[in-house]
Structure 1
Amino acid sequence: MDKKQKAKADTQIPHIPEEIMEEILSMLPVKSLMKFQTVCKSWSNLISKSHFSKLHLQRSIDANRTSFVYLSGCDTNLAYEASTGKLVESESVAVSILAYCNGLLCIGLGDDLLLWNPSTKKAREIPTSPVEFPTPASTMASAFFGLGHRSASDDYKLVRISIFNDMDFQTEVKIYSTNTNTWRRVGDFPYDYPLGRTGVFASGCLHWIVSVWEGGAHHHRIAMLDLADDSYGWIHMPDMGHKVPVFFDIGTLDGKLVVFRPPTNADGSSSIWILEDHNKEESWTTIRIAIDGVNRLEAFVFLQPLWFMKPGRILVRLGAKLVASFDVTGKRRCDMYIPHMLEWRMLNFVESLVSPNLT
């Protein structure tokens, strides 16, 4: 072997079994994987596989890796980066974020809808589907969205609930499928006005808090839409004692449905309920958090959960310009002040390689 051949042999990448390489690469952030696709053809092919994107997504969820809470305000866009615990400027354009799931965002650009993965910069335009008004005199009251994934068919579904300004608040519900690239109308939403615009996806279903008239009074329930068969159902709220709070919110933690209540007790404590088994309403478990440094009035008016994190941490809004991180014991870990933001909304986001162009 001459010197040139020997030098080439010395610089060649050693052979690593694909299953080991897959395991190593699945633990890396999306930004690194995008760069590694140019290293060699075998890496590019591996990273482009649907199987690998699912593995990488699960690794990201399990490790709570490089997740964000987007805070969209009047003057600026910020993102909370879990790996650093800091609020950073976001390059997000001024768009309306309507729904999210597994690293995909459904965003509104005027009358257009887009399914977008901000990590990979890939997007697809969602075809328009006109709203079918029940009468010529009907007008739109509001629209609610939710994005979820049906694992059996690897189909991402966008749900649009349109509510009309009629005496009985008639509805129209349509579901868009990435597999067929079409909209389909399903049964009308059978509950009252959802208390929250974006559906929360957990255990194959989208969830909204609703008010149900029962026994001569309104009661709060968690309405759900099962994406396997597009059927409706509901889950009873966890037992919150005699005093049911005016405000509460739902989210997810480890893929499980979570209900959060702001402090209502004399000691300023709050509670988080976790539905351990989605098929058993009696499986609610409770975590109590005594949040220090927050009086009851401030908590009732301003406190809002942004993100349920691991291990045992929660990111909450404490006012117009303050976000704080707590652990489950109630100890405040850190504060982050938000400049120039009077009105803002938030969502938890996990990096993924999931492609909006699944078909």
Structure 2
Amino acid sequence: MKNSECKLSEMSCGLERIRTLDPSAHCKRRVLEKCSKPKPSERDRAIHIPDDVMVNILSRLPVRSVLKFRCVCKLWHSLTQERYFVGQHYQHHWNKNNPGFIILSWIPRISEITLYYFTEEIHKFRMKGHRREETFSLSNPCDGLICVYGLESTYIVNPSIGEFVTLPEDSLNRPYRPNVGANIGLGYDISTGEYKVVRLAPRTRFPESCTTSCEIFTLGSHSWRAIGDVPYSVSCSVPAFVNGNIHWTIRTDHDEDPRIGLSFDIKNETFDVILHPEGHTDSIFATVTELGGYLCVSSSNSTRANNHMQKDLYILEDYISRKWIKHTIDMRLVGLQNPSFLAPRMQPVVVQHGKIILANDWGRFEYYNPKTRCFEKPAFLTPGIVAPYLESLISPLAIQQTMDEGIPERDAAFFPSDRGQQAGVGHL
């Protein structure tokens, strides 16, 4: 990686043009204007790298390296913001199947929000200029974007490039703060190339209310739109975006409830109920997440024999036929203090280097190897709300500006339609 960066830093920026980047018939051809530059010298010719090779190298670099190379010249600055390049860069890193995770931390007294995202290294993005609030939550991530929301304010953030936009207030004019008891999900509509923010909020002040309102905000638009009510209440855990659907855990007070999840089709804007897998015994501590591109339901076996020390992971191997496979984790190997209380709250977050990272709300992390069925790395503590994360160059500010200026939306073919369905955890 360092060798690639050194070679690129020595290159001349006097390229006549960037050839058409997109071989696909779905995307528009993009050609930059010729750069007025004197005829290259013999030394320049000696270090010349073909345009397509240079673009390929740039698209494989980490986000932070690309941001540095934007300062080299205007041509590279323009190129690395092109929609096709942004999509190509994301696909290269998405195909590595090695996402990281993000931690939301805040200090109410000084109105400071910090997002720590862990990929190959630890990075930090500190939001400034946001509204001061007592508490904040996270949505699921989508293409490097993530929603951070308090009781009154809602933001779409890309911490890897240090950008965020503030969304307008809700459309329902509730007599209390709009995000009280709310759970927000984020999804991408492959048919239109739009990002949609979906907010589920109780009709009353009480989260356990059986009637939940649903609003949608299309990123780049100017207002929320209500699409009706849902006769379910969802939990406060981070949702999951898999197979074009946002998934929430349904709030319940007893284990016998057959409903485990609520899904929202981001394209058709319709709801469906997911019944819990056969053998599932715990609906109270259940959560949903994405592991390796598959929907995963996590629960604690609540039999008296193991006293909540068994964590069951149900992986939805086939989304159409609803075929689940089960993997059991023996939580007694972790060595938790007060295990009957903490073990049910340890939930899977992401698969990294073949290991499943589990975390709880208090910032305890554990690395579990599904092949050896053992915990390998020592635990560490970082308090905050945790969600999976994969960095990208996608700019929420650029999307908003595109809509404001009336420019057509980017082609939906920039991202693969089958993302979220790659192999990985499906054979635990």
Q: Give the aligned residue type for 1:272.
A: L
1:103 paired to 2:144: yes
Quick one: distance in 2 between partners of 1:40 and 1:320? 45
* Shift in Å, 1:230: 0.7
Report the counterpart of residue 296 of structure 2 in structure 1.
Answer: 258
Quick one: distance in 2 between partners of 1:144 and 1:159? 8
Report the counterpart of residue 15 of structure 1 in structure 2.
Answer: 49
1:188 paired to 2:225: no
Quick one: distance in 1 between partners of 2:116 and 2:270? 35
Equivalent of 2:243, from 203, 212, 225?
A: 203
SS in structure 2 at match of 1:31: helix
SS in structure 1 at match of 2:263: strand
* Shift in Å, 1:162: 1.9
Report the counterpart of residue 68 of structure 2 in structure 1.
Answer: 35
Q: Give the 3 Å change call, closer, same or farther, for CA 299–250 of structure 1 in structure 2.
A: farther
* Shift in Å, 1:327: 0.9
Equivalent of 2:126, from 84, 92, 95?
A: 92
SS in structure 1 at match of 2:169: coil
**Which 10-residue stretch deviates more, 74-83 or 124-133?**
74-83
Report the counterpart of residue 122 of structure 1 in structure 2.
Answer: 163
1:309 paired to 2:351: yes
1:332 paired to 2:375: yes
1:153 paired to 2:153: no
* Shift in Å, 1:213: 11
Check conservation: 2:300, 2:311, Cα contact below 8 A.
Answer: yes
Equivalent of 1:70, from 92, 103, 106?
A: 103
* Shift in Å, 1:120: 1.2
**Which 10-residue stretch deviates more, 324-333 or 91-100?**
91-100
Check conservation: 1:62, 1:254, Cα contact below 8 A.
Answer: no
Report the counterpart of residue 268 of structure 2 in structure 1.
Answer: 229
* Shift in Å, 1:313: 1.1
Report the counterpart of residue 318 of structure 2 in structure 1.
Answer: 277
Scaled by the length of structure 2, the TM-score of the pair is 0.68
Q: Per-residue displacement from partner, 1:272-295 (whole Å, max 9, x unpaired)? A: 2221232221x2122333342436
**Which 10-residue stretch deviates more, 308-317 or 103-112?**
103-112
The sequence identity of aligned pairs, in percent, is 24
Report the counterpart of residue 239 of structure 1 in structure 2.
Answer: 278
Equivalent of 2:214, from 162, 165, 173?
A: 173
Q: Give the 3 Å change call, closer, same or farther, for CA 205–246 of structure 1 in structure 2.
A: same
Structure 1 alignment gaps of length 5 or more: none
**Which 10-residue stretch deviates more, 306-315 or 27-36?**
306-315
* Shift in Å, 1:125: 2.6
SS in structure 1 at match of 2:385: coil
Quick one: distance in 2 between partners of 1:233 and 1:213? 20
* Shift in Å, 1:169: 3.9
Q: Give the aligned residue type for 1:30.
A: V
Quick one: distance in 1 between partners of 2:147 and 2:116? 17
Quick one: distance in 2 between partners of 1:147 and 1:64? 20
Check conservation: 2:98, 2:353, Cα contact below 8 A.
Answer: no
Greater fraction strand: 1
Check conservation: 2:194, 2:218, Cα contact below 8 A.
Answer: yes
Scaled by the length of structure 1, the TM-score of the pair is 0.80
* Shift in Å, 1:36: 1.4
Check conservation: 2:244, 2:265, Cα contact below 8 A.
Answer: yes
Q: Give the aligned residue type for 2:300.
A: P
* Shift in Å, 1:77: 5.7
SS in structure 1 at match of 2:78: helix
Report the counterpart of residue 257 of structure 2 in structure 1.
Answer: 218
Equivalent of 1:58, from 91, 109, 120?
A: 91
Aligned residues: 341
Quick one: distance in 2 between partners of 1:6 and 1:232? 61
Quick one: distance in 2 between partners of 1:44 and 1:149? 26
Q: Give the 3 Å change call, closer, same or farther, for CA 132–289 of structure 1 in structure 2.
A: same
Instruction: Choose between structure 1 and 2 for higher RCO, CA contacts under 8 A separated by at least 6 residues.
Output: 1
Quick one: distance in 1 between partners of 2:253 and 2:230? 15
Q: Per-residue displacement from partner, 1:99-146 (whole Å, max 9, x unpaired)? A: 23221122236733222211112232322234344xx89998622211
* Shift in Å, 1:81: 2.4
Q: Per-residue displacement from partner, 1:305-347 (whole Å, max 9, x unpaired)? A: 25221443111237956322111133222124327x4xx3211
Q: Give the aligned residue type for 2:235.
A: L
